[in-house]
Chain A
Amino acid sequence: MRIKFEDYVDVEAKLLELGCHPAIGLAVLPENFQSVAKIEDFRQHSETATVKKLLRAAGLELTDPVDRAQRPPYVQNNAADWVGPTLFVSSALWLQNPQVISIALGVIANYLTDIFRGTDTKTVKLNVVVQKSNARKYTRISYEGGASGIAALEKVLRKAIDE
């Protein structure tokens, strides 16, 4: 299992700058969110749609930064690794409804355990961007490891938010 911490762009400012919807609570960000200059350049991993459906099926409200008509193209890499999207968790959501992230990570882990049944070598990659409490600072936590390790990310996220 490998977990990496990196500073991330000011999500709210970047969404505003690009003319996207504000990310309220839980959101899925395009994979190249930090580097693009306009919405048309957004790209998302092909598994993003599955993750969105899993979260919605679990009753979680999800903000889409763009309208359906502006839905970014998908990047499909035919490797065995499962590459998930970048989830964004605002500090407000964490304060008001902290169990949301636990549910989100749980449903993703359950789905992956299900579809990877019979294999013990599949690597899962998932990014989560969190906003530090009481600050306009953002951190990206990149997870790489087995599906079962995803659920344990919650503690790591909590630490990153509270630091």
Chain B
Amino acid sequence: MSKDVTNFLREFNETVKDCEALLSIARDSELQLEACRKLEKKILEVREEKARAIDEQDEDYANCLLGCSCAAKAVHAELQMWLLLKQEEPEDAWNELITAQDSLLAAMRAHRGFAHLSGPIKRLTAIEKIVFPPQMFMSAGLIVRVQRCSVCGRDYEDCDHLAGRPYMGRFCAIVAEDLEPDHVSIVDSPADKRCRVLGFETDDGYRNRMTWKLEKRSDSEPANEKSTTLTGESGLKARAIIMCTD
């Protein structure tokens, strides 16, 4: 490993370590915001360094930098989560928590140098259970006629890349094309925990599942014309996110 690479990674680790010290609801919001700005700057530097690694066809270093980017995003997202909770924005805070969890898992897949992240993943799982109320998750089923490889653009079945694995600083993913919705279901373990039931109608109005706040129905608004909804067999009306894009 060259001296430049060693220095770059050392500086990256120092920045992330400094920011990790602020991962608590008790920490000062101004300091947390400043840490977010530092991480955003660092993520841009990692992107530039990764471009150089790709130019030099150094796949191991490019994948290591992919992991760095994911790890920095995870800390940034967790800081945002605490800030949003302090601002009484728990729904946006939930989305940041999920981004933090997914980013840590992605860092572990990106490069062997991030094998130590299983501890922080367990910590975020504990935060999910303790800080947030239980959620009801959604899963959308699709019929997909074409699966394309995100790395080479060919039909996914015909190339050599494998979904979820890193290739020269980016993950292979299956890009679904020519698709149609098939079904929506409630599941315990969704692929994306941002897909969840947001709230449901009651006799008095709309109950937010996260905040438990009740938005009262106005007298002029009939119950059956309230929202974009899905209707269950029992007649319960709910509002949910069924699919997210990054």
A46 vs B104: C-alpha distance when bound (angstroms)? 25
A117 vs B145: C-alpha distance when bound (angstroms)? 29
* Neighbouring A residues of B99 by C-beta, 8 Å: none
Q: Is the CB of B163 within 8 A of A79?
A: no
B140, B176, B182, B190: the one within 8 Å of A80 (CB): B190
Q: Is the CB of B243 within 8 A of A76?
A: no
Q: Is the CB of B140 within 8 A of A118?
A: no
Give A143 Cβ to nearest chain B Cβ, in Å: 17
A52, A53, A73, A78: the one within 8 Å of B243 (CB): A78
Q: Is the CB of A76 within 8 A of B176?
A: yes
Say if the beta carbon of B164 comes within 8 Å of chain A. Answer: yes
Say if the beta carbon of B108 comes within 8 Å of chain A. Answer: yes
* Neighbouring A residues of B162 by C-beta, 8 Å: 50, 53-54, 111
Q: Is the CB of B182 within 8 A of A49?
A: no
Say if the beta carbon of A148 comes within 8 Å of chain B. Answer: no
> Which parts of A107-163 form the interface with B (CB within 8 Å)?
111, 114-115, 117-119, 121-123
Q: Is the CB of A74 within 8 A of B147?
A: yes
Q: Is the CB of B189 within 8 A of A80?
A: yes
A114 vs B108: C-alpha distance when bound (angstroms)? 9
Taken residue by residue from 75 to 109, chain A's Cβ proximity to chain B (1 for < 8 Å, 0 otherwise) reads as 11111110000000000000000000000000000
Q: Is the CB of B144 within 8 A of A78?
A: no
Say if the beta carbon of B156 comes within 8 Å of chain A. Answer: yes
Q: Is the CB of B108 within 8 A of A118?
A: yes
* Neighbouring A residues of B187 by C-beta, 8 Å: 79-80
> Which parts of B157-211 form the interface with A (CB within 8 Å)?
157, 159-160, 162-165, 174, 176, 179, 182, 185, 187, 189-192, 195
29 contacts between A and B (CB under 8 A): A43-B143, A46-B147, A46-B174, A50-B162, A52-B157, A53-B159, A73-B143, A73-B145, A74-B143, A74-B145, A74-B176, A75-B142, A75-B143, A78-B190, A78-B191, A78-B195, A79-B185, A111-B162, A115-B109, A117-B108, A117-B109, A117-B115, A118-B104, A118-B105, A118-B108, A118-B109, A118-B121, A119-B105, A119-B121
Chain B residues packing against A (C-beta within 8 Å): 104-105, 108-109, 115, 117-118, 121, 139-145, 147, 156-157, 159-160, 162-165, 174, 176, 179, 182, 185, 187, 189-192, 195, 243
Chain A residues packing against B (C-beta within 8 Å): 43, 46, 49-50, 52-54, 57, 71, 73-81, 111, 114-115, 117-119, 121-123
Given contacts A49-B147, A74-B145, 7 further A-B contacts (CB under 8 A): A49-B157, A50-B162, A57-B160, A79-B191, A111-B162, A115-B109, A118-B105
